[in-house]
Amino acid sequence: MIKSMTGFGRGEFNDGKRNIIVEIKSVNHRYSDISVRMPRRYSFVEDKVKSAVKEKIKRGKVDVSIMVENLTENDVNIKLNTMIAKQYYEKLEELQETFDFSIGGGGITLNMLAGMPDVLKAIPDVEDEEEMTKCILEPVREAAANLEAMRSVEGAKLAEDLIMRGGIIKDLVDKIEERADEVPKAYAIKLKERIEALLEGNVTIPEDRIMVEAAVFADKCNITEELTRLNSHMDQMKNIIETSKEPDGKKLDFLVQEMNREANTIGSKANDITVTNLMLQVKAEIEKIREQVQNIE
């Protein structure tokens, strides 16, 4: 089953000590590109987060957002740096003596020293990395699974659309084949009429000469092989979509290139306005297929 590269998934974890919310968004990309945004203190788990996402998402640009809310006070320690506080005190006293004024009208106060940079600092408590890794990976896997489910639903819609457009192209190819058989005959009739008009009926035109010219023309504008290959490409696309077990976006992208190649060749060889018009419709459908394939994993 094919999958879209576009989707969103969310996962949440709460153990009473912390609440972790994970959101994963993905969009089109030629390769696998996973970026993770999370608090720096948990960076030790980033590689495992990427590995967990890769288990579900093989291709696409994926943005993983991890938010951690600590629910207890045990997670942070307040550190007092008395050495820095002492230096601030001494320097403030020196300023007071040098300029002979009272700081704040009441000298150096506790509030003043406590507000100085780095005197008091909130430092996160040391994490149990193994426990925290488990806590983070649980909602990551949940979000990745939800994202995969959304991509699968969207992929089913893409598959339905692609198979429908493949059927339209096959119907157009059948019409082109019917018309292509008539083109040499129509050319022979027109060629004879033109020659007769030029010679004004004064000379008898050998039928075998007309047939030779028509045969040469038929050989030059023969599109049987191209139509056969184009039909084959439609069958291959349908087979890939219906039997897909691995990401096949790149395979389908290559197949669309081959469809375009055959369509361009047919268009250049077709010396008939009806065939040309039908081919324009074929190329329009191939372009729609190409646009859809760009979103397949």
Q: What is the pLDDT of residues 234-267, one digit of tens each?
A: 999 999 998 877 788 889 999 999 999 999 888 8
Measure the CA–CA gap between 279 and 273, rounded to whole angstroms. Answer: 10
C-alpha distance from residue 249 to each of 99, 107, 150, 166, 168 (Å): 76, 73, 17, 16, 21
Could you tell me the pTM of the whole model?
0.69
Q: Are 65 and 22 in contact (CB under 8 A)?
A: yes
Number of H helices, E strands in the chain: 8, 6
- Does position 142 have pLDDT exceeding 60, yes or no? yes
For residue 184, what pLDDT is reported? 60
pLDDT at 283: 94
Q: Please tell me which residue, 109 or 40, carries the higher pLDDT value.
A: 40
Q: Please tell me whether residue 67 adopts helix, strand or coil conformation.
A: strand
What order of strands is seen across the sheet that includes strand 60-70?
7-14, 18-27, 60-70, 32-37
